[in-house]
Amino acid sequence: MRKIADHYDRVAPVYDLRYDTSSGKVYHGHISRHLLDWLPRGKLLLDLGCGTGLFMRRYGELGGTAIGLDISRGMVEAARGQAGWFEYLVGNAEVLPFRDGSFDAVSCVLAFSYLENPDRMLREAYRVLKPGGYLAVSTLSRSVITSLVPTIYRIGEKMEVGRIGVGDFGERYYTEEEMARIFTLAGFVDVRAKRCSFAHHSLKEPIFDIARKVEPFIEKKMPRLAYNLVVCGRVPEG
């Protein structure tokens, strides 16, 4: 995890540029909408792997408030500069510094694949949620396309490619069935999982526009070609 923290400390000053392009805004917004559809509005959210607070800001626009936690001090400092009205902490999502039943919702956007012990994070999220609270996660899906990514990133690291997220970080990719199983084992009920996003922000114009047009069809009819998974579960009432 230290390697991941060091990498994101370095890229924190330029991280938001990744999603500040037209394609980046569409990509991040598309994933965010899937998660926001499953989260309660106007409540207290804990965002794990919060980065610069992009998702927290989207949640706040809908009337909610949020606390962010990230392993990278650089990202937390950048988040405070971007949206200082929220609270941010440096910490590990597998050991949360909060009391039981503190939050109405927990999110983890594009950071779950970095976790060394995802089961532990899920148990911690369950613990800090109130009865009836929701956990929503987006992460890279395991598919023919994404199976090539770890090798490409390892090569990129050896070639000293300085792009955000490029490196040998031991990332894990999941299927819907795997995510649903570990959510259920952690105690969550009403677990839902689906694949989304085919128009990836790294695609160049006009390929991105073409991918965006066919994205609804891909997600509905050929979901195995989608890059990401979105998963949601609820803590039982009482």
Name all domains of the chain by residue range, CATH numbers in brackets: 2-142+173-234 (3.40.50.150)
pLDDT for 100-110, tens place per residue? 999 999 999 99
**Pairing mode of beta strands 189-196, 103-109:** unpaired
Comparison of pLDDT for 192 and 164, the residue scoring more? 192
CA distance 174 to 237: 28
pLDDT level of residue 201 (50, 70, 90 thresholds): confident
DSSP 110: S
Judged against a pLDDT cut of 90, whether residue 28 lies above it is answered with yes
Instruction: Give the pLDDT of residue 165.
Output: 47
DSSP 174: B
pLDDT for 47-74, tens place per residue? 999 999 999 999 999 999 999 999 999 9
Residues 192-204: what's their mean pLDDT?
A: 87
CA distance 217 to 117: 34
pLDDT level of residue 152 (50, 70, 90 thresholds): low
pLDDT level of residue 158 (50, 70, 90 thresholds): low
Angle, helices 22-36/207-221, rounded to nearest 10 degrees? 20
Distance of CA 155 to the CA centre of its chain: 24
C-alpha distance from residue 184 to each of 113, 123, 181, 193 (Å)? 18, 10, 5, 12
3-class state of residue 71 by DSSP:
coil
With a pLDDT cut of 70, the percent of the chain lying above it is 85
Average pLDDT, rounded, for the chain: 87
With a pLDDT cut of 90, the percent of the chain lying above it is 62
Copy the structure tokens of residue 211. Answer: 């991918």
Comparison of pLDDT for 213 and 2, the residue scoring more? 213
CA distance 200 to 100: 37
Nearest to residue 174, comparing CAs of 148, 142, 203?
142
Q: Give the contacts of 84 (CB within 8 A, at least 6 positions apart).
A: none
3-class state of residue 139 by DSSP:
strand
